[in-house]
Amino acid sequence: MKEFNAPNFYPSLVSLWINDSFERKDLERELLAKLLVFLCKSQENLLSQQQLLHGYGPFAFDKSIVYN
């Protein structure tokens, strides 16, 4: 992420990852969750909580995801 040097794109990247994870297996979703936690908690602060929430936002209230 550091090499991208495009913080405005990070929420879109998170959104793409989350969207893709719905078509994956549990293990892959768990790995994505661990990656996101690592990126947010890293000493270099590679991903801010605000960027994470903006990327996650479109999925927060989409009931079709929960029920399908």
- Tell which wins on pLDDT, 19 or 59: 19
> Residue 37 domain-assigned?
yes
Token duo for residue 4:
């991208």
Note down the domain range covering 61: 8-67
* pLDDT attached to residue 30: 96
In a domain, 52, yes or no: yes
pLDDT of 68 strictly over 80: no
In a domain, 2, yes or no: no
The predicted structure's pLDDT at residue 62 = 59
What is the H or E stretch that residue 22 is in? none
Distance CA 55, CA 17 (A): 9
Q: With respect to residue 42, please indicate whether it lies within any of the assigned structural domains.
A: yes
Overall domain count for the chain = 1
| 44 belongs to a structural domain | yes
pLDDT in tens, 22-64: 899 999 999 999 999 999 998 888 999 899 888 888 776 655 5
For 47, counting Cβ atoms within 10 Å of its Cβ (0-12 exposed, 13-18 middle, 19+ buried), the class is buried
Would 3 be classed as within a structural domain?
Answer: no
Task: Please report whether residue 19 resides in a domain.
Answer: yes
